[in-house]
Amino acid sequence: MSAVAPVGAPAREREPTVAVVSRLLVHALGAAIFAAPLVRGEATALAALGAALGAGLAPRFARGPWRTGGLVTLGVALLALGFLGRFLFVDTAIAARGLGPAAALRTGDGWLFAFGAAGVSFALRSLSARRRSLAALEVVAVAAAFMQLVVAHRHGAINRPFEIADPIIAAGGDPTHVFYAVGALAALAVVLLLLAERSVWRSLLHLAAVLLVLGLVFGLTDALDPPAPPVAGAGLGLRPGEGEPQEGEGGQGNQRGQGGEQRPDENLEFQDDLDTSQSQVPVAVVLFHSDYSSPTGVYYFRQGAFSQYNGRRMVGATGGLDRDLGDAFPSRTYTVPDPPLLNQNRTSVETTVALLTEHNRPFGLEAPVRFAPARNPDPRRFDRLYRVESAVLTSDFFSMIGARAGAKDWGPEEWTHYTEGPEDPRYAALAQRILDEKLPDYLRGDPAAQVAAVTSWLAEQGTYSLRSRHADADDPTADFLFGDVTGYCVHFAHAGAYLLRSLGLPARVATGYAVDEAQRAGGSALLISGETSHAWPEVRIEGFGWVVADISPQNVISPPPAPSDQDLQRLLGELARGLEAMPIEPETPLVQQLERAFDWMKLSLLGLLWFLGLVLAALFGGKLWRRLAPRFADPAAQPRVAYRADLDRLSDVGIRRRRGESRESFAARVAEALPALVPLTRAHVGAAFGSRRRPDLGSHRSELRQQLRQAVPLWRRLLGAIDPFSWLLTR
């Protein structure tokens, strides 16, 4: 520069507006996402606003003379101000007196989240503005905000946090998509923050930090995490268990017509540890079409019956017996082959069953008569729906006194089948002893009284426990009955059936679900969860049909089942009807929420990883396309496309035009190392701005590559080759 003064220094390094705005957006989004499951809408909006304000103000302060520690303290002070405000509004009576408790609570929440978000965003932004490496904190905080949202949906929890998933379900949508969207949004937010860093290496560093934090969280979760709740009911053969072939008529409704000939290979096996029955996983919702109250106080839903004695236990009968069961899901209305009689003892009750999980066969209230298909209002939520008309018993055992056992049309074959039991004489002896003990002389011959005596004796003597030691015995039932009388429903059902059979009464073991009537809580929907799967003895009484003779042991070792979730029951009931649910408030322990949410979080992370993978693939695709474009472009576009490919090559190794620098100045700046760029630039600019000359570029391009190889070390070129962002930074 000898004679002419240089052009003024290049414009000050100002952060691009796009970066500033996207930072604000991401902060607002993060705060909103964090607040959404915790507070109401207006507090969420305030949180977003506060975060945007805090993040917007921070850089101004960061440019000022204040110490970094002071800025962080200011942020923390804002947070404290938020908590103080909430304390004043919510925990003291002052505001509640003036505003009313609800408004005070809302104001307090809004205050806390507005100031809290502002403080946190302010502190994070000023830190990252002061020290670029601390921007990792910012990125991690945003990632964590998204994480805590999906955390609550672990283990597929659907009604907590209520605000996120349930409206989607109620509207007939699939919440999974929402979570994918949230995952994608999170990825977008993080990517935006990363891109706002104008150094790719710093961005990659931050990305690594985020992945490390997420990995740590998931690793720790996996290490400390109790196993996911097992699927209950499989032990009783009600549902296809894991690993079992799901064949037979289980899933398909169109195999009807083969009658009762083809029994499913159901397995009512004795187990020493039935650890699956504590599951609260909902398996079905039953809608009552009429108000029906069971005389026993328990709703029995029969799915299967086991009446064939195989020398060790009861198995499903073949050969046209037990034909009062529904053996396939209905594709059209059908009546069971041997329906219970609708007489003065039984009345018709209609129900709709909405299965939430797959089942082997349909079940219905007590004694199903007819099955009919029903429209599934939400195939993603419900496995299937069907209607059942049941003939339910309206009388108790006392009204059966005097009735005979069996059925009028039974021949010797049936009698033999239903009274065959173990040859062990102890059963008959015990049964006789029970009758002697329990019944007065004039009732000892009465079937109904005998049944009542046996079941009440078992209930008094037996102890209900999910842990027992009978499965290895030759006759587990005898081991149970003549041993410690400790077992679970399958033991009791078998013991009851054998005792009744030894008395000459036709008995069998039925399986299905038994739900306490109280759980209906006056509504018309009844939620059946896996833990209510049950087995019970049944006895055939003339004029009454198969009668449930359940045994409720008085001693219970196993913990009582948790109370069911009334909100969930109502929600699912409404959904099964095809209605939208009324909003309800979640009341589930935090621990449970967290547990379930982690599953969703994993899903979201998977989605996020997929998304990131897709983003990476798109980035590399774009890079590759731009690199190869000169081979395919037509000659007119050649100077532009080829030059772009060359610039990408330079960008790979960090050689880029500065903002506001003309292409020619850029070429002149790097001309020392890369002289071939000068003619390439001239040709490119000429073509772009209307030159009529078309210089040949081929040799210059290969020269440029050569010069690049000489000027840039190999490792730097390799790093550049795997950099997915470099081509986006090409100017």
Partner 1 sequence: MTDLQPTPAASASPLEDAHRVFTQLTHRLRAAVVGRDEVIELVLVALLADGHVLLEDFPGSGKTTLARALGSAIEPGPSGAVEGIASFRRIQFTPDLLPSDITGTNVFDVDAGGFTFRRGPLFAHVVLADEINRTSPKVQSAMLEAMAEKQVTVDDATYGLDRLFFVIATQNPLDLAGTYPLPTPQLDRFLFKLVMEHIERDAELDVLASYPKPHLDQAAAHPGVSREAILAARMASRELVHLAPVFREALVDLARGLRADPRVLQGASTRSLVLAMPALQARALLRGRDYVAPEDLEALAPQIFRHRLELAPGVEDPLEVIGDALAPQLEILARASLKG
Task: Identify which range of 79-87, 119-127, 181-189, 663-671 contacts partner 1 by CB under 8 A.
Answer: 663-671
Q: Are 534 and 528 in contact (CB under 8 A)?
A: no
Q: Are 316 and 306 in contact (CB under 8 A)?
A: yes
Considering only CA atoms, which of 237, 259, 261 is closest in space to residue 250? 237
Can you tell me which of 690, 696, 714, 715 binds partner 1, judged by CB under 8 A? Answer: 690
- Based on the shown chain and the rule CB under 8 A, indicate whether residue 662 belongs to the binding site for partner 1: yes
- Based on the shown chain and the rule CB under 8 A, indicate whether residue 8 belongs to the binding site for partner 1: yes
CB of 707 to partner 1, least distance (A): 17
CB of 631 to partner 1, least distance (A): 16
- Based on the shown chain and the rule CB under 8 A, indicate whether residue 631 belongs to the binding site for partner 1: no
Can you tell me which of 665, 699, 702, 710 binds partner 1, judged by CB under 8 A? Answer: 665
- Based on the shown chain and the rule CB under 8 A, indicate whether residue 98 belongs to the binding site for partner 1: no
Q: Are 327 and 260 in contact (CB under 8 A)?
A: yes
CB of 663 to partner 1, least distance (A): 5
In sequence order, what are the residues at sequence separation of 6 or more whose Cβ sits closer than 8 angstroms to the Cβ of residue 171? 580
Give per-residue burial for 270-287: e unless 16+ CB within 10 Å, then b.
bbeebebbbbbbbbbbbb
CA atoms within 13 A on the CB side of 408: 5
- Based on the shown chain and the rule CB under 8 A, indicate whether residue 661 belongs to the binding site for partner 1: yes
Considering only CA atoms, which of 79, 78, 100 is closest in space to residue 89? 100
Closer CB to partner 1, residue 280 or residue 681?
A: 681
Nearest-5° Cα angle at 537, 536 to 541:
135
- Based on the shown chain and the rule CB under 8 A, indicate whether residue 623 belongs to the binding site for partner 1: no
Can you tell me which of 685, 719, 728, 729 binds partner 1, judged by CB under 8 A? Answer: 685
Q: Structure tokens of 665?
A: 């100045």
- Based on the shown chain and the rule CB under 8 A, indicate whether residue 375 belongs to the binding site for partner 1: no
Total chain residues near partner 1 (CB under 8 A): 35
Can you tell me which of 657, 670, 697, 726 binds partner 1, judged by CB under 8 A? Answer: 657
- Based on the shown chain and the rule CB under 8 A, indicate whether residue 693 belongs to the binding site for partner 1: yes
- Based on the shown chain and the rule CB under 8 A, indicate whether residue 635 belongs to the binding site for partner 1: no
Closer CB to partner 1, residue 9 or residue 590?
A: 9
Q: Are 530 and 485 in contact (CB under 8 A)?
A: no
CB of 697 to partner 1, least distance (A): 15
Q: Rule CB under 8 A: which of 11-30 touch partner 1?
A: 11
Can you tell me which of 15, 225, 247, 664 binds partner 1, judged by CB under 8 A? Answer: 664
CB of 652 to partner 1, least distance (A): 17
Closer CB to partner 1, residue 4 or residue 591?
A: 4
- Based on the shown chain and the rule CB under 8 A, indicate whether residue 9 belongs to the binding site for partner 1: yes
CB of 731 to partner 1, least distance (A): 7
DSSP track, 115-183 = HHHHHHHHHHHHHHHH-GGGHHHHHHHHHHHHHHHHHTBGGG-SSSSHHHHHHHHHTT--HHHHHHHHH
CB of 648 to partner 1, least distance (A): 11
Q: Are 116 and 44 in contact (CB under 8 A)?
A: no
Q: What is the largest CA-CA distance in the chain?
A: 133
Nearest-5° Cα angle at 329, 327 to 335:
65
In one letter, which amino acid is 506?
A: P
CB of 36 to partner 1, least distance (A): 39
Can you tell me which of 585, 660, 696, 715 binds partner 1, judged by CB under 8 A? Answer: 660
Calpha distance 308→44 (Å, rounded): 63
CA atoms within 13 A on the CB side of 708: 23
Question: By the criterion CB under 8 A, which residues form the site for partner 1?
Answer: 2-11, 637, 640, 643-644, 647, 657, 659-665, 678, 682, 684-686, 688-693, 731
